[in-house]
């Protein structure tokens, strides 16, 4: 029974992280397509990851303002 609860909690955590990363990636595609295109063209993902982290940080900051 305990293992089942841990499994459900772990699945929920992985699903939430995946949803947040997917939403941030889509937001980055819409707001900054040049960076995404350059990252795909050159194969260098560091600018893409940096911008993705900035989007997540800004979203988290916006959420924390309401709390």
Q: Are 47 and 39 in contact (CB under 8 A)?
A: yes
Please indicate, yes or no, whether the overall pTM of this predicted structure exceeds 0.85: no
| C-alpha–C-alpha distance, residues 24 and 5, integer Å | 29
- Any idea where the domains of the chain sit in the sequence? 2-66
pLDDT digits (tens, 9 = 90+) for 18-45: 998 888 888 888 888 887 788 878 887 7
DSSP the chain: -HHHHHHHHHHHHHHHHHHHHHHHHHHHHHH-HHHHHHHHHH---HHHHHHHHHHHHHHHHHHHHH-
pLDDT digits (tens, 9 = 90+) for 3-23: 777 788 888 889 998 998 888
pLDDT at 64: 87
């Amino acid at each position: 029974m305990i293992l089942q609860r841990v499994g459900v909690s772990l699945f929920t955590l992985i699903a939430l992280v995946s949803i947040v990363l997917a939403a941030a990636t889509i937001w980055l595609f819409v707001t900054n397509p040049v960076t995404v295109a350059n990252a795909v063209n050159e194969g260098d993902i560091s600018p893409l990851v940096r911008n993705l982290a900035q989007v997540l940080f800004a979203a988290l900051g916006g959420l924390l303002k309401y709390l």
